[in-house]
Amino acid sequence: MKQSRANVANAKPAAVPAPRKKTSANSMWGGRFAAAPSALMEQVNASIAFDKALATQDLAGSRAHCTMLIETGIVSAADGRAILKGLEKIAGEIAAGTFTFTPALEDIHMHVEARLGELIGPAAGRLHTARSRNDQVATDLRLWVRDAIDRLDDTLRDLQTALVERAEEHAGTILPGFTHLQPAQPVTFGHHLLAYFEMLDRDRGRMRDCRARLNESPLGAAALAGTSFPIDRKRTASLLGFTAPCANSMDAVSARDFVIEFLGAAAIAATHLSRLAEELVMWASPAFGFITFSDAFSTGSSIMPQKRNPDAAELVRGKAGRVIGALVGMLVVMKGLPLTYGKDMQEDKEPTFATAEQLELCVRVTAGMVRDLRANPVAMRASAEKGYLTATDLADWLVQALGVPFRKAHEMTGAIVRVAENRGVTLAELSLAELRSVEPRITKAVFQALSVEASVARRTSLGGTAPKLVRAAVARAKKRLTRP
């Protein structure tokens, strides 16, 4: 699943040579144009400010294309060797930050071609044989998203590992589980954390599915109709690690569903992170007091000296909005486009790059918070005593011990809860006589079911919160983390 991790998304080009000389018309467009575009046209048309992030992938695609052109005899071996040598020189310049970027050359493809011409002369013009910027950018972006998915898979696995480590530590730590943000039933902290492990596992699965579907090569589809040259698309697909060439040339250059699918999977993952972040924010508040963060993941107030703010969690929660917005934006861009390529599709890159960067950061920050947090089992246990969390256990006991139909047991338990509320005590603190005032057949054995410890221990159905099940789930999770 691993591909090259080289990425120049954050590379800062050095202010080196002066910009290349501007001609009357863009030489890459050929003789159809006699005059240069207006400054405004140049500004709105240029994408190099962001698509230079595709440099590594663009160079890889060019090397594969050139290799195929040599092997098929479309380009001579001498010209091909010169092209490959020039591409390596360009790769070194970009990696070193000495490559000159200018809006006049629009995008990464034209930058590479122009620089190649400077380095090796007219032979550079042969590289673009049997391809178009349309299939180039589609290929580059698929390669980039594929690499981003591989990086995200690593970071998501690390977050899962952090959750499993803390779940094992707190397999028997009791805290209240909530529905409607109201106390519902006692659960264990380990069980709660493993719920997020499962969500993240599905996130990784969605990313892997997306990767498998996008892993087809558009290269050789040319502008939209294919080419008359005797190219070998299977060869370039193989060189780039794709499973096969895209089957339809029009689909190859116009499809961006792989971007949408990636953004969709990212939006779901960001939503999961945001839900965990919200719980971390609540748990860290004095009203809950379930956890505390060290100074490494806390901030202060400019005016209130006592404050310890869980800003890292709040930022993870907030950034989910950006990721979800990128998905919506991309859907809107694509929804009305006829086949095949439209310049609207240039808008696919910035949200994709930003989403991958922000999601990876959020995953890493969340893993840091999970490892950093210090749980407060005493506060968790005390909170589990509030809200009559063992009421369902009492109803279950009435069904199991006395044979009461569950709906009747539910009604009787509600009446007993009302007695406890009136007295201001827990269910376990009621006397046997008070319990019998609702149901005379209740015996003292009922008290074995009314503690929160007994409640979690009895939840032994598959996927339940019983500590022994949590420990078994931790063991299974560790095995799942070792799979390729």
Strands (E), 300-453: 374-375
CA–CA distances in Å: residue 19 to residues 15, 105, 115, 425: 10, 10, 12, 80
Task: State the Cα torsion 51-55-61-64 to the nearest 10°.
Answer: 170
- Examine the residue annotation and report whether 301 is marked as an active-site residue of this protein: yes
β pairing state of 244-245 and 216-217: parallel
d(CA 67, CA 235): 9
Are 114 and 101 in contact, with CB atoms under 8 Å apart?
Answer: no
Are 189 and 375 in contact, with CB atoms under 8 Å apart?
Answer: yes
d(CA 256, CA 48): 20
Annotated catalytic residue: which of 38, 285, 301, 431?
301
Burial of 43 (0-12, 13-18, 19+ CB in 10 A): exposed
Structure tokens belonging to residue 270? 């960001």
Nearest to 293 by CA among 234, 361, 367, 370: 370
DSSP string, 31-61: GG--SPPPHHHHHHH--HHHHGGGHHHHHHH
Annotated catalytic residue: which of 180, 228, 302, 461?
180
- Examine the residue annotation and report whether 180 is marked as an active-site residue of this protein: yes
Q: Active-site residues: which are they?
A: 180, 301
